[in-house]
């Protein structure tokens, strides 16, 4: 078999490996992909990679960078779900990573060749450098993948722009050093080794700086989550303390309540006795956790809101089964439940203020196979305007007449999208919010339901 066939097989195999690892990286970052297959991803890379080299569609370094980045962005836009800013960030990162890896390896090999008196690297040495650079790139991708997996759900646009700026700055600095290195290498071979070491250190330091920024973002996120959990637990402990104090008071007064009821019945005042029992029942309900979901976070959130709705005269019913904290973060769970229930209570309050009946709220959730399904329905006294899956708020900005969309539903939608879930809104004679979240690793034995 001729040499060019072996070369073609080798090049194609390395290309497939390249695309497979990049595909895996992007799939982990963006989540579920569209209907396009792996073949489309490879053909796209072939178009903006090999075709560009053959026809020189982008001749300069800057033009090549812009051309490849745009082609990669178009491909990622077609293939993957997710925020556009995140796609831009990972597109630039995927192009800069191999360049940084190559700039880390190549100067050292070039310096070694100069030290041996050859002046320039041979074709075999350059191929070895290319393979080494790819290995470095794969290691960088794996490190970033492990560190950023937690950040993927809370990767804000500000953080993405910040990291993009660092990447482009590092890439420009390394490119400048490489141009200086090549220029010096052609005329002053004695300076090759120091210049090569400088180029390698700059590239390695830039890569380390970027990973350091990712690690710092991760730590910031963990601190924020810890603070949120602390606040939720504090609220739960405060509620539990109030319930305990109420129970102690009830036990202390139970003997007196019994004597009062006995005297009322002895005097034949049955209606007064029934009224007295009803008052006792209300007081006991105030100190009881009426909603038990199996999650201390959800319980601490839902019980005060449940009591508030009951005090307003709203007919509220909650039947909840929630996933564990290992499947959905407590902060995201509380964001969904709090905003959804607040919106329902607010809708009923608007009806009360307009003179309509207090209304009703039904809150249901269950774990079905690998999905958590949540449905919240409430009565409405007037039609709700739904535009492109968003609720038009009754509030308007003070300086314009443009409508404002409900912030609570936007927060819910963002939380749902972090888990690649589905959210639907329906408004007719009643308002309903339906959410379905995938929960991999579901353990049915841990599920606990409550009917209220």
Mean pLDDT across the chain: 70
At 93-131, the pLDDT tens digits run: 776 666 666 666 666 666 666 655 555 555 666 666 667
pLDDT at 298: 83
Helix axes 3-30, 84-115, angle to 10 degrees: 140
Backbone phi and psi for residue 382, each to the nearest 5 degrees, phi listed first = -150, 155
Closest alpha carbon to 344 in 406, 276, 415: 406
pLDDT at 443 exceeding the cut of 50: no
| Percent of the chain residues past pLDDT 70, beyond the cut | 47
Residue-wise over 137-153: b if at least 16 C-beta within 10 A, else e?
A: bbebbeebeeebeebeb
Q: Given this structure, which CATH class describes domain 290-451?
A: alpha beta
Cβ atoms within 10 Å of 102's Cβ, excluding its own:
20
Q: Starting from the edge strand earliest in sequence, which strands make up the sheet with 360-368, in order?
A: 422-427, 430-438, 371-379, 360-368, 315-320, 450-451
Q: Distance between CA atoms of 435 and 428, rounded to whole angstroms?
A: 18
Most confident of 142-146, 224-228, 300-304: 300-304
DSSP string, 351-403: HHHTT----EEEEEEEEETTEEEEEEEEE-SS---EETTEEEEEEE-SS---E
At 33-88, the pLDDT tens digits run: 654 555 555 566 566 555 655 555 555 656 666 676 777 777 777 777 666 777 77
pLDDT at 375: 92
* Whether the predicted model's global pTM rises above the 0.75 cut: no
Instruction: List the domain boundaries for the chain.
Output: 3-227, 290-451
Q: Distance between CA atoms of 344 and 69, rounded to whole angstroms?
A: 45
Closest alpha carbon to 210 in 108, 87, 107, 90: 90
DSSP string, 108-157: HHHHHHHHTT--S--HHHHHHHHHHHHHHHHHHHHHHHHHHTTGGGG--H
Place of tokens 């509220």: 316
């Amino acid at each position: 078999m001729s040499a060019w066939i072996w070369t073609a097989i080798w090049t194609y195999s390395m290309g497939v490996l390249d695309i497979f690892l990049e595909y895996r990286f992007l799939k982990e970052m963006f989540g579920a992909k569209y209907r396009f297959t792996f073949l489309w991803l490879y053909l796209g890379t072939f178009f903006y990679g090999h075709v560009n080299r053959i026809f020189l569609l982008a001749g300069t370094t800057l033009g090549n960078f812009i051309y490849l980045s745009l082609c990669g962005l178009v491909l990622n836009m077609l293939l993957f779900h997710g925020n556009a800013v995140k796609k831009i960030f990972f597109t630039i990162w995927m192009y800069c990573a191999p360049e940084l890896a190559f700039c880390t390896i190549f100067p050292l090999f070039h310096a070694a060749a100069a030290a041996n008196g050859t002046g320039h690297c041979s074709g075999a040495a350059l191929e070895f450098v290319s393979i080494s650079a790819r290995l470095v790139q794969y290691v960088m991708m794996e490190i970033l993948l492990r560190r950023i997996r937690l950040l993927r759900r809370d990767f804000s646009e500000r953080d993405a722009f910040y990291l993009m700026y660092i990447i482009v700055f590092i890439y420009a600095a390394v490119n400048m050093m490489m141009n200086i290195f090549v220029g010096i290498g052609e005329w002053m071979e004695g300076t090759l080794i120091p210049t090569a070491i400088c180029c390698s250190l700059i590239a390695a330091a830039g890569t380390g700086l970027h990973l350091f920024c990712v690690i710092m973002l991760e730590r910031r996120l963990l601190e924020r989550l810890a603070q949120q959990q602390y606040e939720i637990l504090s609220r739960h402990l405060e509620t539990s303390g109030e319930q305990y104090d109420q129970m102690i008071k009830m036990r202390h007064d139970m003997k007196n309540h019994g004597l009062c009821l006995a005297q009322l019945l002895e005097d034949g005042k049955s209606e007064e006795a029934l009224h007295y029992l009803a008052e006792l029942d209300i007081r006991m309900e105030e100190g009881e956790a009426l909603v038990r979901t199996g999650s201390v976070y959800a319980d601490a959130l839902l019980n005060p809101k449940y009591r508030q709705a009951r005090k307003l005269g709203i007919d509220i019913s909650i039947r909840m089964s929630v996933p564990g904290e290992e499947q959905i973060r407590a902060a995201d769970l509380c964001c969904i439940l709090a905003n959804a229930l607040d919106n329902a209570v607010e809708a009923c309050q608007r009806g009360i203020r307009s003179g309509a009946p207090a209304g009703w709220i039904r809150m249901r959730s269950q774990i079905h196979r690998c999905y958590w399904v949540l449905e919240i329905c409430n009565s409405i006294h007037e039609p709700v305007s739904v535009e492109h899956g968003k609720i038009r708020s009754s509030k308007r900005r003070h300086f314009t007449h443009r409508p404002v969309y409900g912030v609570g539903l936007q927060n819910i939608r963002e939380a749902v999208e972090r888990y690649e879930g589905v959210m639907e809104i329906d408004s007719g004679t009643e308002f309903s919010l339906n959410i379905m979240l995938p929960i991999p690793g579901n353990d049915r034995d841990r599920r606990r339901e409550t009917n209220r």
